[in-house]
Amino acid sequence: MTNQLTITFPDDWHIHLRDHDALKTTVAHAAQSFRRVVVMPNTNPPIKTADDAKAYRDRILANVPDGVPFEPLMTLYLTPETTPSIVEAAKASGIVHAIKLYPAGVTTNSSAGVSSLSNLYPVFETMAKVGLPLLVHGEASDPNIDIFDREAIFIEQELKPLHAAIPDLRIVMEHITTKDAVEFVESTNANIAATLTPQHLLFNRNTLLSGGIKPHLYCLPILKRETHRQALIKAATSGNPKFFLGTDSAPHAQSAKESCCGCAGCYSALTAMSHYAEAFEMMNALDKLEAFAGHYGADFYGLPRNTDTITLVREDWTPPESYPYLENDRLIPLGAKQTLKWQVK
């Protein structure tokens, strides 16, 4: 039995840091766990241009703890007003590494997103030309579609036609949740990849709903059936470089999560590596964790792999029940009040 594991320092290829006062907490937590993070642009207001991204990046860097090496990789928010010239300026900036697609209304701060992809194909063609990946929240936005079917339908209606039309466009399906998504990624060329979250590898919809709703496990895309979870964890631990780490860690104040209309998102910035280690150990695949967490994402984005390491040890620990967050509120981490088997030394 392995009791200690030293691996390349991981990166998080999908994280939410929010903005302004929230950065005091979220940046410190992310910098403790990851060397680089792909920062989502669905702030309020959203990050739409290279100038927006530079200003946001400066605010993030102002909150990095002294002496901690940490690099935020910026993204732009795709809107109906995004143009090829915006894409070209983003690439020329040197700090924007991708553009994020939110179908309008599917998740937190997605109201500025797009309702149809058909008018944006010139933008996607420019992205393919300059080498900027498209990051996709892959859910159909039609409210009449069952929430558990929206990922599969989005793949059929939007992603397959887009990939067929522009096969050179690099696409990351973020936080995939279904067997359908795994099969799509596996069946396509090297330009299609996917990120996987700790909650979707470890939990299913029974965990969320049985015995009472667990608001801190509610996220979008929502947790699915056990058959889908099994497909996800098999993909993550397969050694296939098309699947890599992306926590989708999303900070929401306790008062907002535990309300009559609780918001979607799991906060895992500090506990993610413990959860991933548990998931990989379940599959007897701890030897595959290093590449999933520290190699494949960097390779897909064309960035150098990190050269320093972290060590995970098999040692029971219980994350704090909460962290101070914003004025008088709290932030509940994924795994709060639970015994986790692995921790970062």
For residue 70, pLDDT over 90 is answered with yes
Band of residue 112 on the pLDDT scale cut at 50, 70, 90: confident
What integer is the mean pLDDT of 132-156? Answer: 95
- Distance CA(96)–CA(49), nearest Å, equals 9
What integer is the mean pLDDT of 304-321? Answer: 97
Instruction: Return the pLDDT at 104.
Output: 86
For residue 110, pLDDT over 80 is answered with no
Instruction: Return the pLDDT at 111.
Output: 82
- Distance CA(60)–CA(18), nearest Å, equals 9
For residue 117, pLDDT over 80 is answered with yes
Residue (of 165, 174, 227) closest to 197 by Cα position: 174
What integer is the mean pLDDT of 143-147? Answer: 94
Alpha helices (runs of H) in the chain, residue ranges in sequence order: 23-33, 50-61, 84-93, 121-130, 150-154, 160-165, 179-187, 198-202, 205-209, 226-236, 254-257, 272-282, 289-294, 296-301
The residue with greater pLDDT, 219 or 115, is 219
Instruction: Return the pLDDT at 262.
Output: 86
- Considering the chain, what is the average pLDDT of its residues? 96
- Distance CA(13)–CA(39), nearest Å, equals 8
Beta carbons of 334 and 198 less than 8 angstroms apart: yes
Instruction: Return the pLDDT at 108.
Output: 77
Take residue 39 and report the two structure tokens written for it: 């920062």
- Distance CA(151)–CA(137), nearest Å, equals 9
What integer is the mean pLDDT of 84-88? Answer: 98
Residue (of 42, 35, 66, 72) closest to 54 by Cα position: 72
> Residues of the chain with pLDDT > 70: what percent?
100
Band of residue 317 on the pLDDT scale cut at 50, 70, 90: very high
The per-residue pLDDT for range 263-298, each reduced to its tens digit, is 999 999 999 999 999 999 999 999 999 999 999 999
Cβ atoms within 10 Å, residue 53: 24
Instruction: Return the pLDDT at 260.
Output: 87
- Distance CA(162)–CA(169), nearest Å, equals 9
Band of residue 82 on the pLDDT scale cut at 50, 70, 90: very high
What integer is the mean pLDDT of 299-326? Answer: 96
Residue spans per domain, the chain: 12-305
Residue (of 99, 300, 320) closest to 194 by Cα position: 300
Strand ranges for 290-339 from DSSP E: 309-317, 323-325, 329-331
For residue 80, pLDDT over 80 is answered with yes
For residue 254, pLDDT over 90 is answered with yes
What integer is the mean pLDDT of 19-43? Answer: 97
Instruction: Return the pLDDT at 51.
Output: 98
Q: Which residues are annotated as a binding site for Zn(2+)?
A: 14, 16, 100, 137, 175, 248
Question: Could you tell me which CATH number the domain at 12-305 has?
Answer: 3.20.20.140
- 168 classed as catalytic: no
Beta carbons of 128 and 166 less than 8 angstroms apart: yes
Exposed (0-12), middle (13-18) or buried (19+): which is 326, by Cβ within 10 Å?
A: middle
> Residues of the chain with pLDDT > 90: what percent?
92
Backbone dihedral region for residue 249 (phi beyond 0: left; psi -120 to 50: alpha; all else: beta): beta
> Out of 142, 168, 248, 308, which one is annotated catalytic?
248
For residue 109, pLDDT over 80 is answered with no
Angle at 77 between CA 215 and CA 247, to 5 degrees: 40
The per-residue pLDDT for range 164-209, each reduced to its tens digit, is 999 999 999 999 999 999 999 999 999 999 999 999 999 999 999 9
Beta carbons of 7 and 293 less than 8 angstroms apart: yes
